[in-house]
């Protein structure tokens, strides 16, 4: 490609060659971004040229670091920008839109970054990728390396949703639960903050601007994990300004994190270091990072756009996921629905006016983390009756002292099986772990408890249980 491509540190302005080996600035240690010869690109890109091209991530190839002729693609990008009138009315907004990234090949926006990263790596002669990833990125890279005929070696030494782990395995990834040296120079080592990923993620904003008739909305709201997506959003806006595709943008960016793990929000608010976060403490696992690598860039993007950052609770995310599905037919995982939760809060605070045009980026499908559906299922009385009608004989109550003790424990907290056994054994030292798991199985069958989330810890899948509304009613009657 004739356009000169470099890596640049936005903090100290140091520049480096794009060779795949330099990951962070050698002067200040900050993360890097890919830059282009924008003056030259002005002759290669115009509104008319882009409108005439085939849709998808690769229509923007002059602003990408690799050649589209050898692209490893599964048809990512060109996702819908949907006006949400019913949900908007519920929140109090006339112009609410969502960018529905759930329609990407593996169900998340990470496919945009994966197509760029895997294409670049393959074209440079690499035979595979290696790194430690959260669920959605691991699933995306596994899918695209499978398409490319390359290896994917994935470390999941952090919490990961079991459904996303199943995706990685299905795509043929080699998955380890702790660091393992591969010892191959032909394997490209990457991470969640790789500059190549940003180049794919920024195309979300290109599409938002184009589908908004080459104008920027008043607000774009995005989840923040490593800080890459909000950084990519601002990068896309500034690139379109440099290329004269839009006038100087008057747009505010909003970054959202889970309140139980919100280091970027705290840094934006000037309170960094006052709290310690636990990644496993929130249901929004994919955006829970104790030490987000692009936090500096994320905060700069928010400040330069006169935007803001806020944290939302797990309960707010569940509300948002449920209502986005019921009102608009878009099923999002809780981490993705965090943008709707933030919007509701900002609307109530008066930060966003009812007439503002707002775009919420919905980053991942609810099928990847079906917690909302599971919680709704336990409240579906008609379905419960249907199941009972199909049973040949009615089941007996079968509630003994141990089961009541388990219900009491789960009425106060969500716990995995081993922790439930540990607490029960304090009261009944003779009880075995298999016996407790049998009680859990019985209680789940009766609809008194349900599986709340699945996580991989130390190479094992841990199922976390919570008491259902039916279990709460029974417990209240028993005690």
378-478 in CATH: which number?
1.10.10.10
Is residue 8 within 8 A of residue 15, CB to CB? The reply is yes
**Model pTM above 0.85:** no
Q: Which two tokens stand for residue 280?
A: 């496993």
Is residue 450 within 8 A of residue 468, CB to CB? The reply is yes
Is residue 170 within 8 A of residue 143, CB to CB? The reply is no
- Structurally, at CATH architecture level, domain 76-107+197-370 sits in 3-Layer(aba) Sandwich (3.40)
Q: Which residue has the tokens 């839009």?
A: 246
Query: Residue 117 and residue 124: Cα distance in Å, rounded?
Result: 11
User: What does the angle CA 251 – CA 302 – CA 196 come to, to the nearest 5 degrees?
Assistant: 100
What residues of the chain score a pLDDT lower than 70? Answer: 1-3, 157-158, 182-183, 272-276, 280, 369-399, 458-459, 477-479
pLDDT confidence of residue 251: 95
With residue 151 as reference, give the H or E element that holds it.
strand 151-155
With residue 374 as reference, give the H or E element that holds it.
helix 371-377
User: Judging by DSSP bridges, how do beta strands 95-100 and 357-362 pair with one another?
Assistant: parallel
pLDDT confidence of residue 50: 95
With residue 144 as reference, give the H or E element that holds it.
helix 135-148
Query: 424 — phi, psi (to 5°)?
Result: -65, -40
Q: Which two tokens stand for residue 376?
A: 């709704």
Query: 461 — phi, psi (to 5°)?
Result: -85, 120
Is residue 153 within 8 A of residue 182, CB to CB? The reply is yes
Query: Residue 109 and residue 94: Cα distance in Å, rounded?
Result: 26
The ranges assigned to domains in the chain are 76-107+197-370, 110-193, 378-478
Whether 76-107+197-370 shares its CATH topology with 378-478 is answered no
pLDDT confidence of residue 454: 81
pLDDT confidence of residue 392: 40
**Chain segment 91-122, per-residue pLDDT in tens:** 999 999 999 999 999 999 999 999 999 999 99
**Chain segment 343-352, per-residue pLDDT in tens:** 999 999 999 9
- Burial class of 257 by CB neighbour count within 10 A (0 to 12, 13 to 18, 19+): buried
Is residue 35 within 8 A of residue 2, CB to CB? The reply is no
Q: Which two tokens stand for residue 384?
A: 């419960």
Instruction: From the options 3.90.180.10, 3.90.660.10, 3.40.50.1100, 3.10.180.10, give the CATH code of 110-193.
Output: 3.40.50.1100
pLDDT confidence of residue 20: 82
């Amino acid at each position: 490609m004739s356009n000169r491509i470099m890596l640049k540190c936005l903090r100290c302005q140091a520049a480096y060659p794009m060779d795949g080996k330099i990951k962070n600035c050698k002067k200040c240690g900050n993360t890097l971004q890919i830059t282009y010869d924008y003056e030259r690109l002005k002759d290669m890109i115009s509104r008319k040229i882009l409108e005439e091209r085939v849709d998808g991530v690769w229509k923007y190839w002059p602003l990408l670091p690799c050649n589209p002729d050898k692209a490893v693609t599964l048809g990512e990008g060109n996702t819908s920008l949907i006006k949400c009138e019913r949900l908007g009315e519920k929140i109090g907004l006339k112009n609410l839109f969502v960018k529905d990234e759930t329609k990407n090949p593996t169900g998340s926006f990470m496919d945009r970054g994966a197509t760029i990263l895997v294409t670049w790596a393959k074209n440079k002669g690499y035979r595979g990728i290696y790194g430690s990833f959260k669920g959605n990125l691991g699933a995306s890279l596994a899918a695209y390396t499978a398409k490319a005929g390359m290896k994917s070696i994935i470390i999941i030494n952090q919490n990961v949703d079991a459904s996303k782990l199943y995706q990685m395995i299905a795509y043929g990834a080699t998955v380890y639960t702790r660091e393992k040296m591969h010892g191959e120079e032909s394997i490209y080592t990457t991470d969640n903050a790789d500059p190549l990923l940003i180049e794919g993620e920024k195309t979300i904003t290109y599409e938002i601007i184009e589908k908004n008739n080459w104008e920027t909305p008043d607000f774009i709201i995005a989840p923040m994990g490593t800080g890459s997506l909000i950084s990519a959003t601002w990068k896309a806006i500034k690139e379109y300004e440099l290329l004269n595709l839009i006038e100087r943008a008057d747009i505010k960016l909003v970054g959202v994190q889970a309140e139980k793990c919100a280091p970027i929000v705290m840094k934006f608010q000037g309170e960094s270091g006052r709290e310690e976060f636990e990644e496993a403490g929130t249901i929004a696992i994919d955006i829970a990072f104790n030490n987000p690598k692009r936090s500096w860039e994320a905060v700069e993007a928010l400040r330069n756009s006169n935007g803001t950052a806020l944290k939302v609770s797990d309960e707010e995310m569940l509300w948002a996921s449920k209502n986005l599905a019921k009102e608009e037919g878009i099923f999002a995982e809780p981490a993705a629905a965090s943008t709707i939760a933030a919007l509701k809060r900002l609307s109530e605070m008066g930060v966003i006016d009812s007439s503002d045009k707002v775009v919420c980026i919905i980053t991942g499908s609810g099928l990847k983390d079906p917690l909302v559906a599971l919680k709704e299922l336990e409240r579906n009385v008609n379905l419960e009756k249907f199941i009972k009608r199909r049973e040949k004989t009615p089941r007996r109550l079968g509630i003994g002292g141990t089961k009541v003790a388990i219900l009491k424990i789960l009425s106060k907290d969500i716990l995995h099986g081993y922790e439930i056994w540990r607490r029960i054994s304090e009261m009944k030292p003779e009880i075995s772990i298999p016996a407790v798991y049998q009680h859990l199985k019985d209680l789940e069958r009766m609809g008194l408890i349900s599986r709340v989330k699945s996580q991989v810890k130390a190479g094992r899948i841990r199922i976390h249980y919570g008491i259902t509304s039916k279990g709460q009613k029974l417990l209240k009657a028993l005690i």
